[in-house]
Chain A
Amino acid sequence: MSHSRLTPEEQAQAELAQTEALGPRTARTMVLVFLLIVGLIIPSQWIYEATTGRSFQLLDLFGTPYRAADLAAFEDAVEDASFARTAVQPRLQAWFSQFGGFGNTKTVLGREGWLYYEPGVSHLAGSDPFSPEHLNRRQLAGQRNPDPRPAIQAFHEDLAALGIELILLPIPDKASVHPEFLTRRQTQPFPDPALQRLTDWAEERGIQVLSVEEELFAERSENGTAYLAQDTHWTPVAMERVARFVSQAVILDNPPARTWQQEAQEAIRVGDLVDMLQLVDHQKVFRPEQIRINQIQDEEGQPWDTRANAPVLLLGDSFTNIFHLAEMGWGESAGFGAHLAAALGTDLKQIAINGGGSDATRIELSRMRQGLRNVQTVVWQFSARDLSHGAWPVVRVSLREAEEEDPEETTGETADEHIQIRGRILIGAPTPSLAAPYENARGAFLLEVVSAEGPRHPEVGEEILLQIPLMVERRLRPATRWREGQEISIAVQRGVPSEWSGRELLDETFIFDDRTIYWGLE
């Protein structure tokens, strides 16, 4: 029977028997090399873990619930812990970046050392975020609250009921202000159509939207750049310009007068987009950028900080935190909030959470009983790309009666007493990505208290909110292995430490109402 009349299966058998030029020695050598490649990684990983005092990652399988999501997380953890991967990935990524012009899923490489944040680019190049098709696709992908409009409307109504003015402050993406380093086809800055649609919609409903695109375009035109080359965010000069612009739109009734002074300082580091490439620590592909910031100080020379009873409340994300939050590496107390306060000549209260412009800041505000006390104007800063990618839950806010002094009300202060809690996890937190824009992240877990000891401890059976570090300097913490249904024992204190209050918050269930926040002590 000729080959042409054989079934594919018969043909395969016949062809297999005709494997040519494969001598026994070649075959055995090939088998040996292959078995060494696939067989030695894990034993060498065990040796590495044993000699460095780390736990054996594979043994965690026995403590992992046999559920799809948990097993997938376990797989990721095994790969993340691999010393071979850790050794190879940064070096190979550096090679890709240097010679291939290729970043990763978060960082897009432009020309002349410029980097861009991929979600920002995809927002600008993508479809209308307000279109039914776009919203439907996001919902099918699992996003429960893709549409910003109900969230903005509800927030505006709640604030209006309290006599508080709302100002929306969307910050355009870098690629719309500086497209020229990303593609040669677009050399001039251009307005983001989504922002115009947002403005049209909001103005019909009496909601004020401040467009800062023209200010940033003017900054670029006058001074060459409005954004840092390697970072997602604006330059200090551009930020200060926007702060002055915004201050002209804020109208206050008899605000407390404050005098602020400035001190020039230097800051030097590589941008966050370089961090997202996860290169080796002493990489030479990208040189640090040096900038000058103006730290805002009070009359006594103390660096500016948020004030509880300020007439202006600023909700913001990393655009607000940059130059303010020390851990971002670009200085301290020189950020948007500080300069807005200085421009206004009054106090300002700030809730700024990296990555939380569309949701986390309002959620944090909603937990505060007196968060809106004395507030006349709320400036809600978020990133334009959040219109396409952010979560926009409807969060109701109000001014409630103050109870006993609650640490969470005074942003960043915690009670000193330690409480020992044993609790069952009802709702877990997602695992942060090592390629995330920020190197530190915290998570929120909903816990049912099984037992508790210590001063002002929660009651047995009470549901509490536990926040805890999930990622520190791009290293995952043990809490990332916690799963729903699991019982944990941990020491906690009430309130979130100040150094963590601005860091990214990973929160699976967005609305927590009247639950006390405890901070897990590792």
Chain B
Amino acid sequence: MVFSTHFFLFVFLPCVLAVYYLSPMRWRAVVLTGFSYFFYSWTNPWWVVLMATSTVIDYVAGRVIAKGGGAVAIPGEEPVLEIGGHRSRQQKIALAVSIAANLGMLGFFKYAGFLAINANAVAGFLGLSDSMIPVLEVALPVGISFYTFQSMSYTIDVYRGRAPGMRDFSAFACYVALFPQLVAGPIVRYNSVADQLRVRTHTAEKFARGIAMFSLGMSKKILIANPMGHIADASFAAGALNPIDAWYGIMGYALQIYFDFSAYSDMAIGLALMFGFVFPKNFDSPYRADSITDFWRRWHISLSTWLRDYLYIPLGGNRVGPSRTYVNLMIVMLLGGLWHGASWNFVIWGGIHGGMLAFERSQGRDSPYRRLPRPVRIVITFLIVCVAWVFFRADDLPGAMSYLGSMFGLSNTSAGTDLISGVTATPYHLAMFVIALLVVWTMPQSWDYTRRLTPRRAVICLVALVAAILVMWTQTANPFLYFQF
């Protein structure tokens, strides 16, 4: 079920809002959990078994860790483990089980085929054709990359002493399954919602802010992301392109993925607000970044902070000398790329960003680059990000190299090549492209825009919602890009 569809907007959402607000306060977490499981089962009924399994394992692991000794009592709150304190063998095993179970599920569904294919390729290269591993074709459960990371963060935080263990299973199940952020984030840390799972306010102001976020997200998806997707899809489906069409296509993709993903995050945050939850923003005008380092402070913030806190810092972060720091950055970005998908394309994409992060760190704050005017730095950063997006979008490595060749005039075009502009450069698409660039570079983020929600802005948000609904009815397919991760 997708947020920006007729069925979700006019059937599911009214039902869940009605049942939720008609329920007594103590039942609301259960109601939300039930509807979240129903929401998830809609895509594939069997996948709820996976999510339930992950939930039970992490809940039990959390209880074992929390009750395993070393807790510090905090008046009026659940006890937490002492930070840096001793952990028993039982606690360590519980943590290991949680991490292994989550990564094991993720590894099986997402990477088993990829690993087998590559292992077979190596075996073939070494002349070991008799040792081939069967390649399983397994459907990737939607959202598994998100909820496993989210669930793992709970047990890790409890183990580290940064969060108390959750006693109430229904509240914990609600945290894992909460449908607004279940299938495409933001990755919500348990610590940030622990209190909200127990007590949260439901006010008209909060709900209205949620409506504003949801409306802006919906309009970004329908009115901007989808037309940009049309440009990108046509461009990447074409054979060789001339450079103008190729750059137009990749910029279309850059705009598509930003508006698509940030739209989903806006809608998720908006829906969460409607149910009383406050989630942090996930994007902060990433295409206004003036360096790749800055880009990653602004793009998919919940993932980048997760990787920072649970991978980069445990590896030593930047406290282990320059060379090791660069290696750590590279490891994090390569794995971050792999998180997006089991393909060398994503690894290369991560590698490009990791390499740029390491390079920028090596240059320091007084590099010649920093002396360029900020608008120039923003354009350079955007172009680098676009080049990296080629690997993210292309179906495979040959496709990515072919597209890059087109971008830099290295392709053999044919008479049919020029036809693509008839599909992608219609007045409508060109207008939406320009509007998208203006929004990206001149307008505030949804979260910042809705911080000051005047009656005029409220009207604008609702008008945007209505416009999005009307246009939604003319569009056939409407999936969110990040569902595939």
A53 is an interface residue with CB less than 8 A from chain B: no
Could you tell me if A125 and B280 are in contact, using CB atoms closer than 8 angstroms? Answer: no
Residues of A contacting B203 in the complex (Cβ-Cβ under 8 angstroms): 27
Could you tell me if A193 and B416 are in contact, using CB atoms closer than 8 angstroms? Answer: yes
CB proximity to A under 8 Å, residues B322-337: none
User: When A8-B305, A21-B452, A179-B419 are in contact, do A34 and B211 touch as well, CB less than 8 Å?
Assistant: yes
Query: Contact partner of A122 among B11, B13, B238, B466, CB < 8 A?
Result: B238
Could you tell me if A193 and B238 are in contact, using CB atoms closer than 8 angstroms? Answer: no
Q: Which among B2-10, B90-98, B378-386 touches the partner chain?
A: B2-10
Could you tell me if B426 and A31 are in contact, using CB atoms closer than 8 angstroms? Answer: no
Could you tell me if B426 and A435 are in contact, using CB atoms closer than 8 angstroms? Answer: no
Residues of A contacting B429 in the complex (Cβ-Cβ under 8 angstroms): 102
B101 is an interface residue with CB less than 8 A from chain A: no
CB proximity to B under 8 Å, residues A109-129: 109-110, 116, 118, 121-122, 124-128
User: When A18-B451, A67-B45 are in contact, do A8 and B301 touch as well, CB less than 8 Å?
Assistant: yes
A15 is an interface residue with CB less than 8 A from chain B: yes
Minimum CB–CB distance from A90 to chain B (whole Å) comes to 9
Could you tell me if B447 and A190 are in contact, using CB atoms closer than 8 angstroms? Answer: no
A55 is an interface residue with CB less than 8 A from chain B: no
Could you tell me if A125 and B476 are in contact, using CB atoms closer than 8 angstroms? Answer: no
Residues of B contacting A125 in the complex (Cβ-Cβ under 8 angstroms): 234, 237-239, 416-417, 419-420, 423
Chain A's closest residue to B186 (CB) is A8
Query: Contact partner of B419 among A7, A84, A186, CB < 8 A?
Result: A186
Could you tell me if B211 and A101 are in contact, using CB atoms closer than 8 angstroms? Answer: no
Residues of B contacting A128 in the complex (Cβ-Cβ under 8 angstroms): 239
Q: Residues 6-37 of chain A: 1 if any B CB is under 8 Å from the residue's CB, otherwise 0? A: 01111111011011111010111111011101
CB proximity to A under 8 Å, residues B264-319: 273, 278-281, 301-302, 305
B212 is an interface residue with CB less than 8 A from chain A: yes
Minimum CB–CB distance from A140 to chain B (whole Å) comes to 8
Instruction: Give A93 to B208 CA distance when docked, in angstroms.
Output: 31
Could you tell me if B415 and A9 are in contact, using CB atoms closer than 8 angstroms? Answer: no
Q: Which among B81-89, B254-262, B352-360, B393-401 touches the partner chain?
A: B393-401
Could you tell me if B419 and A133 are in contact, using CB atoms closer than 8 angstroms? Answer: no
Could you tell me if A30 and B421 are in contact, using CB atoms closer than 8 angstroms? Answer: no
B191 is an interface residue with CB less than 8 A from chain A: yes
User: When A24-B204, A122-B238 are in contact, do A19 and B7 touch as well, CB less than 8 Å?
Assistant: no
Dominant secondary structure at the B interface: helix
Query: Contact partner of B239 among A21, A66, A127, CB < 8 A?
Result: A127
Could you tell me if A104 and B476 are in contact, using CB atoms closer than 8 angstroms? Answer: yes
Query: Interface size (B, Cβ < 8 Å)?
Result: 77
Residues of A contacting B13 in the complex (Cβ-Cβ under 8 angstroms): 38
B24 is an interface residue with CB less than 8 A from chain A: no
Residues of A contacting B17 in the complex (Cβ-Cβ under 8 angstroms): 35
Could you tell me if A79 and B6 are in contact, using CB atoms closer than 8 angstroms? Answer: yes
A283 is an interface residue with CB less than 8 A from chain B: no
Chain B's closest residue to A24 (CB) is B204
Query: Interface size (A, Cβ < 8 Å)?
Result: 79
Could you tell me if B11 and A78 are in contact, using CB atoms closer than 8 angstroms? Answer: yes
Instruction: Give A485 to B42 CA distance when docked, in angstroms.
Output: 20
CB proximity to B under 8 Å, residues A168-227: 175-176, 179, 182-183, 185-186, 190-193
Instruction: Give A28 to B455 CA distance when docked, in angstroms.
Output: 11
Instruction: Give A186 to B17 CA distance when docked, in angstroms.
Output: 54
Could you tell me if A121 and B419 are in contact, using CB atoms closer than 8 angstroms? Answer: yes
A sample of 24 cross-chain residue pairs with beta-carbon separation below 8 angstroms, ordered by A number, consists of A7-B192, A8-B281, A9-B278, A11-B280, A19-B450, A20-B453, A24-B204, A33-B462, A38-B10, A68-B43, A75-B6, A78-B6, A89-B474, A110-B422, A121-B419, A121-B423, A124-B416, A125-B234, A125-B237, A125-B420, A126-B238, A133-B398, A183-B419, A433-B476
Given A7-B280, A122-B237, 19 more A-B residue pairs with CB atoms under 8 Å apart are A8-B280, A19-B205, A28-B208, A41-B9, A58-B11, A92-B470, A102-B426, A102-B427, A102-B428, A104-B476, A109-B426, A124-B416, A125-B239, A125-B416, A137-B396, A175-B416, A175-B422, A179-B415, A186-B418
* 10 tightest Cβ-Cβ pairs between the two chains A and B: A9-B192, A100-B428, A190-B415, A182-B422, A8-B280, A124-B416, A102-B428, A185-B418, A27-B208, A12-B280
Q: A residues touching B (Cβ–Cβ < 8 Å)?
A: 7-13, 15-16, 18-22, 24, 26-31, 33-35, 37-39, 41-42, 58, 66-68, 71, 75, 78-79, 82, 84-85, 88-89, 92-93, 96, 99-102, 104-105, 108-110, 116, 118, 121-122, 124-128, 133, 137, 140, 175-176, 179, 182-183, 185-186, 190-193, 433, 435
